[in-house]
Amino acid sequence: MPVKLEAQRICLEYYQPRTGRRLLALDDIDLAIMDGEFVSIVGPSGCGKTTFLNVVDGLLPATSGRILLDGKVVTEPGQDRAMVFQDASLLPWRTVLGNVLYGLECQGIGTRPARQRAQHFIEMVGLQGFEHHYPYELSGGMQQRANLARALVMDPQVLLMDEPFAALDAQTREVMQEELLQIWRQAKKTVLFITHQINEAIYLSDRVIVFTTRPGRVKQSVTIDIERPRKLAVKRDPRFLQLEDFVWNLIEDEVRKTMLADRSSRGSAEVGPPDSGV
Amino acid sequence: MRTEGQTLYAADVTGVSSLGKFYVEHERGLIGTGAVLTFLLAWEAVTRSRLVDPLFLSSPTLIVRAGYELFAEGTIWRDLRVSGTEFVVGYLMAAGVAIPLGLALGWYRRLYFCLGPFIDVLNAVPRVALLPVIIIWFGIGVWSKIVVVFLGAVIPMLINTFSGVKTTEERFLKVARSFGASELKIFWTIVFPGTVPFIFTGLKYAAGRALLGVVVGELYAATAGIGFLITVSGATFQTDKVFVGILIVTTTGVLVVELLDRLERRFEGWRPKVGSAT
Ligand SMILES: Nc1ncnc2c1ncn2[C@@H]1O[C@H](COP(=O)(O)OP(=O)(O)OP(=O)(O)O)[C@@H](O)[C@H]1O
Ligand SMILES: [Mg+2]
């Protein structure tokens, strides 16, 4: 299988004009994702996962390094990728249907076929009957599902998903996981998936990437060699639990580091004044 | 329309008599009307009892009679037409300039850098102080007043529209860019809808400023108009007529704001209704 998506030595530094400080969010990330691979990223909160996904989508220019998609350098968002945003970010002045149609409108896809596709995905995420509701009339989980439909309807080659199921109850979450796996399998998509739920990452993925605490680096890439299709019961399989434990420990190490670093020298992980040259 | 989505914070009215229930449901209106009525009665009583000279204070009944006479005589129609023209033309011209310009200023940073200083100065200068030169330039006819109205109304509309654009949320811009929206599309689907509430705030505030412009302009130099009527009546101690003029101006202000409120509600189905009850 060819490499679909490649991150080469990605560094990203945020600059806060208010304080004049720079903050290194991503430090030298190297990652290659195969065509059709399902990869999850896990890591402590604030380690740069969302930032990384933004860079991959082309929303944030990397300070150094580059993203390659099918061997071509990514400089801006494109139709081959679609993002499920962490904060649902539904446009408040559009109904659910309007929001799901938004991307198709941007691509200039005709109303009739667009509506049919939108309807299909609205039903898939279980929001039928709410097409004409505004975001403020939805629960957090419903908003998140509309957000999901908005990305899926674009039928992108690469799906970038930032904690898409975080706001859902356990049952809905499992249904959504099934749907996602089915889309992934049938449409042969490449998925980059962020989650805080380790068992979700393992259940869904071919590979789980563990990020270090900020600045985000790849701590370890864990291959999940559990055959597919996976049944829900696999989550209680000893091999599954072993993997879960393993990833858990990797993250725990990192979280501990953050806490200690914060306590001993506040903000030492941050890059001091701009002239300190990192 | 979307009644099912609304929660009604009905007061606990079980076990109260129907009169009590009526009171609870209409509490706000009843208290308001009661207060106004009491005020009017007190006013009437104070002048009837000769506690204060009616020439000095006038009274509700005297005002009603003066109003009746003014309309019966018919000269007031001309005043209404003149003032109405000044208000409507000046106000609409202001809106026609301020809304597009405010949107452009918010959208094109360099345009703001260029025009910002002028706007700040125009905002700081008391428009009344400009009256003498405006009269010199435009004469004492309707046009000088239209200019005064325009200058009074244009600033609040402009500043509000501008800040509306400026408060566009970064996350919605991200969504739009992620879906590959063109600049024009971003403007009309993200920036503009978010600015509409600000535009209405500006329009409502500007209505008061515009009316002020009419009255002050006519006070200073005019041959007809409601402001002119107020000045002349005041100079000849016809307090009743002064109040008729004030009443007309006030009513216009209230009506314009009410009209704008209704218009706004048609645009604002997507916003949760806050504080509409009690
Ligand atoms: N726009 C920004 N400007 C400055 N700093 C930012 C900005 N966005 C994020 N950061 C910082 O970059 C770091 C990484 O943030 P990011 O949102 O990528 O974390 P995350 O891994 O997605 O966290 P979480 O799991 O909580 O969503 C954080 O320390 C945050 O403070
Ligand atoms: Mg995040």
Residue B193 neighbours by CB under 8 Å, 6+ apart: A91, A93
Residue B145 neighbours by CB under 8 Å, 6+ apart: B86, B90, B213, B214, B217, B218, B222, B225
Count the domains in chain B. Answer: 2
Q: Is pLDDT at A145 greater than 80 in this prediction?
A: yes
**Is there a single domain that holds both residue B152 and residue B258?**
yes
Chain B residue numbers with beta carbons less than 8 Å from the beta carbon of A85 are 171, 174-175, 178
**Is there a single domain that holds both residue B44 and residue B118?**
no
**Nearest-CA distance from A85 to chain B in Å?**
8
Q: Is pLDDT at B1 greater than 60 in this prediction?
A: no
Find the domain containing B76 and state its range: 71-270
**Nearest-CA distance from B7 to chain A in Å?**
11
Residue B61: what pLDDT?
Answer: 87
**Is there a single domain that holds both residue B256 and residue B193?**
yes
Chain A residue numbers with beta carbons less than 8 Å from the beta carbon of B187 are none
CB A50 within 8 A of CB A86: yes
Give the tens place of pLDDT for each residue, A41-99: 999 999 999 999 999 999 999 999 999 999 999 999 999 999 999 998 999 999 999 99
Q: Is pLDDT at A167 greater than 60 in this prediction?
A: yes
Collapsing DSSP to helix, strand or coil, A68 comes out as: strand
Q: Is pLDDT at A200 greater than 90 in this prediction?
A: yes
DSSP strand pairing (A190-194 vs A158-162)? parallel
Tokens of B40: 């009017």
Provide the residue type at B7 as one letter: T
Averaged over B219-247, what is the pLDDT?
A: 90
Is residue B10 assigned to a domain? yes
Q: Is pLDDT at B98 greater than 90 in this prediction?
A: yes
Q: Is pLDDT at B37 greater than 80 in this prediction?
A: yes
Is residue B175 assigned to a domain? yes
Q: Which of A159-173, B40-54, B84-98 has the least mean pLDDT?
A: B40-54
Is residue B168 assigned to a domain? yes
Which ligand is closest in space to the CA of residue A48?
Answer: 1
Q: What confidence tier does B74 reach under pLDDT thresholds 50, 70, 90? A: confident
**Is there a single domain that holds both residue B151 and residue B241?**
yes
Provide the edge-to-edge strand list for the sheet that holds A72-73. Answer: A21-34, A3-16, A64-69, A72-73
**Is there a single domain that holds both residue B43 and residue B148?**
no
Residue A45, ligand 1, Cβ within 6 A:
yes
Provide the residue type at A262 as one letter: D
Q: Which of A234-238, A263-267, B32-36, B205-209 has the least mean pLDDT?
A: A263-267
Nearest CA, atom 17, ligand 1: A50
Q: Which of A219, A234, A242, A192 is nearest to A50 (CA)?
A: A192
Is residue B59 assigned to a domain? no
- Between helix B239-267 and helix B226-235 the angle, nearest 10°, is 160
Average pLDDT of the residues of chain A: 90
**Is there a single domain that holds both residue B110 and residue B228?**
yes
Rounded to whole angstroms, the Cα distance separating A8 from A74 reads 11
**Is there a single domain that holds both residue B113 and residue B82?**
yes
Cα separations in angstroms, B180 against A59, A82, A109, A253, B174: 10, 10, 13, 39, 10
Residue A264: what pLDDT?
Answer: 63
Is residue B258 assigned to a domain? yes
Residue B128: what pLDDT?
Answer: 82
**Is there a single domain that holds both residue B101 and residue B142?**
yes
Q: Which of A218-222, B41-45, B237-241, B266-270 has the least mean pLDDT?
A: B266-270
**Is there a single domain that holds both residue B229 and residue B158?**
yes
Ligand 2 centroid from CA A50, angstroms: 4
Q: What confidence tier does A17 reach under pLDDT thresholds 50, 70, 90? A: confident
Residue B272: what pLDDT?
Answer: 80
Cα separations in angstroms, B7 against A131, B21, B151, B265: 20, 19, 43, 18
Give A42's strand partners.
A210
Averaged over A194-217, what is the pLDDT?
A: 94
Q: What confidence tier does B16 reach under pLDDT thresholds 50, 70, 90? A: low
Is residue B63 assigned to a domain? no
Chain A residue numbers with beta carbons less than 8 Å from the beta carbon of B270 are 92-95, 134-136
Which residues have beta carbons under 5 A from ligand 2 (an ion)?
Answer: A 50, 86
Q: What confidence tier does B13 reach under pLDDT thresholds 50, 70, 90? A: low
Cβ-defined contact of B174 to A59 (cutoff 8 Å) = yes
Q: Is pLDDT at B216 greater than 70 in this prediction?
A: yes
Ligand 2 centroid from CA A68, angstroms: 22
Tokens of B77: 């129609």
Is residue B166 assigned to a domain? yes
Is residue B65 assigned to a domain? no
Q: Is pLDDT at B129 greater than 80 in this prediction?
A: yes
Q: What confidence tier does A274 reach under pLDDT thresholds 50, 70, 90? A: very low
- Between helix A140-152 and helix A170-187 the angle, nearest 10°, is 0
Residue B147: what pLDDT?
Answer: 95
Q: Is pLDDT at B2 greater than 80 in this prediction?
A: no
Q: Is pLDDT at B134 greater than 70 in this prediction?
A: yes
Provide the edge-to-edge strand list for the sheet that holds A158-162. Answer: A81-84, A158-162, A190-194, A38-42, A207-211, A218-223
Q: Is pLDDT at A189 greater than 70 in this prediction?
A: yes
pTM value is: 0.83
Residue A56, ligand 1, Cβ within 6 A:
no
Residue A113: what pLDDT?
Answer: 86
**Is there a single domain that holds both residue B94 and residue B131?**
yes
Give A15's strand partners.
A22
Residue A256: what pLDDT?
Answer: 86
Query: Could you tell me what percent of chain B has a pLDDT over 90?
Result: 60
Ligand 1 centroid from CA B147, angstroms: 51
Helices (H), B108-225: 109-124, 131-138, 142-166, 170-178, 183-186, 192-220
**Is there a single domain that holds both residue B100 and residue B218?**
yes
Best mean pLDDT range from A26-40, A170-184, B225-239: A26-40
- Between helix B60-73 and helix B75-107 the angle, nearest 10°, is 100
**Is there a single domain that holds both residue B46 and residue B129?**
no
CATH number at residue B172: 1.10.3720.10
Q: Which of A204, A221, A94, A101 is nearest to A152 (CA)?
A: A101
Give the tens place of pLDDT for each residue, A227-268: 998 988 899 999 999 999 999 999 998 888 877 776 665 544
Q: Which residue has the higher pLDDT, A244 or B141?
A: A244
Q: Is pLDDT at A276 greater than 50 in this prediction?
A: no
Residue A160 neighbours by CB under 8 Å, 6+ apart: A53, A56, A57, A81, A82, A83, A84, A192
Query: Could you tell me what percent of chain A has a pLDDT over 90?
Result: 74
Rounded to whole angstroms, the Cα distance separating A25 from A13 reads 6
Q: Which residue has the higher pLDDT, B240 or B57?
A: B240
Residue B10: what pLDDT?
Answer: 52
CB A8 within 8 A of CB A30: yes
